[in-house]
Amino acid sequence: MPGRSWQSGVVGIPATPTPLQGWARLDDLVHDVRERFARRRGQLPTVIPYTGFGTTTRIRVLCRVLLTKTPRPGSRDARLMLRREERVRGWRSFTSVPVGDVDVVVTAGGSEHVVRADRGGVVDVGVDVALEPGWNTITLRTEHSEPVDAPVYVVPPDARFGVVCDIDDTVMVTALPRPFLAFWNTFVLDVHARTPTPGMAVFLDHFVQQHPGAPVIYLSTGAWNVAPTLNRFLGRNLYPQGPLLLTDWGPTHDRFFRNGREHKEQNLRRLAAEFPDIRWLLVGDDGQHDEEIYAGFAREHPENVAAVAIRRLSPAEAVLAGGRANTPDTGPAEIPWVSAPDGAGLAEQLGRAGLIRTP
């Protein structure tokens, strides 16, 4: 596999890693050892496809490359070959070895494009391709893996509204301290054990139905490892279909853990740049930094924000989530800002603002 390099600021002088870079380099070395061991055991690259999205001229491709065992003929895994994400569900999503710095071939619109996975095996890149509005299917593969299909939602050119929605404590009532969320999302596999926020699926579905073509983006600080679990939850509870924008775990070159707030802010700015004509309904809760993040984005890009809808946590939920902001920032006065404990209350208030028709 291609080696990972550390760049120096001076030509010809080896870089001296900082303590944080040292942790990232150690993380890379551990991955390299695990990958060599897994390959000796016969594990092969598997592309885990995620839902992508984009415009009629450019799409955002999302997937992850992991090493997995070749299923035995006639086994359950063999019967699920077309649903590769099922083979790395739950604890396997954290113990599977990511394949970093590997080329992935994207076949879309009758042409092929070669993109590259990052050090965690994640592909999140834009590809120039002409596709029809609506749902499309692209194919992803590596040099040594079988091709897999990935859904891509192409936003119609005349769409003027979209939804960006948080997950934990917004569409899913976790009622757990934040440090335990990763464990819960990973190891509690039964979707029946998860509680959807009352009325939230109906609220989002009504908004999408009343704004044809509106994309729904689920933006969360959760790790890509839990994507299959979250997709099962969203589908079973009838939430509108849409891509997940998650993050990766582990140290980076400048910090021990990835910054969840920065992840959300960067993706919001990217959405504003990629869809300049869309006004987003920003949905979150008051237990993290959603209010501050959305208010900041609304000030930066008021033309791209239709409204902000914040789910109010119960006192117990707020304690588990780490508390609330003392003085919530509601952003520019001209942008509707609503707050309620459930989806029905948010829909009612947005109805008064003329953004949704309530029954």
Query: Which residues have a Cβ under 8 Å from the Cβ of 237 and sit 6 or more positions away?
Result: 171, 191, 196, 201
* pLDDT at residue 330, rounded to an integer: 78
Residue 271 pLDDT greater than 70, yes or no: yes
Say if pTM beats, i.e. exceeds, 0.75. yes
pLDDT digits (tens, 9 = 90+) for 170-183: 998 875 555 565 55
Q: What is the DSSP letter of 269?
A: H
Phi-psi region of 319 (alpha: psi -120 to 50; beta: other; left: phi over 0): alpha
Q: Are 181 and 299 in contact (CB under 8 A)?
A: no
Query: What's the token pair of residue 97?
Result: 């070895």
The backbone torsions φ and ψ at residue 105, rounded to the nearest 5 degrees and listed phi first, read -95, 125
* pLDDT at residue 154, rounded to an integer: 98
* pLDDT at residue 100, rounded to an integer: 81
Q: Output 229 or 24, whichever has higher pLDDT.
A: 229
* pLDDT at residue 248, rounded to an integer: 76
* pLDDT at residue 33, rounded to an integer: 59
pLDDT digits (tens, 9 = 90+) for 29-64: 655 656 565 556 656 788 999 999 999 999 999 999
C-alpha of 336 from chain center:
26
Percent residues over pLDDT 70 in the chain: 67
Percent residues over pLDDT 90 in the chain: 51
**Structural domains of the chain in order of their starting residue, each with its CATH number:** 44-154 (2.60.40), 161-352 (3.40.50.1000)
Phi-psi region of 146 (alpha: psi -120 to 50; beta: other; left: phi over 0): beta
pLDDT digits (tens, 9 = 90+) for 65-76: 988 776 555 555
Of the pLDDT bands very low, low, confident and very high (cuts 50, 70, 90), residue 10 is: very low
Residue 273 pLDDT greater than 90, yes or no: yes
Question: Computed over its alpha carbons, how large is the radius of gyration of the chain?
Answer: 21
Query: Which residues have a Cβ under 8 Å from the Cβ of 79 and sit 6 or more positions away?
Result: none
* pLDDT at residue 229, rounded to an integer: 82
* Angle subtended at Cα 342 by Cα 339 and Cα 344, rounded to the nearest 5 degrees: 95
Give the separation between CA 183 and CA 197, rounded to whole angstroms: 20
* pLDDT at residue 101, rounded to an integer: 83
List the one residue out of 188, 229, 266, 223 whose CA is nearest residue 64. Answer: 223
Q: Are 224 and 246 in contact (CB under 8 A)?
A: yes
Of the pLDDT bands very low, low, confident and very high (cuts 50, 70, 90), residue 127 is: very high
Q: Are 305 and 298 in contact (CB under 8 A)?
A: yes
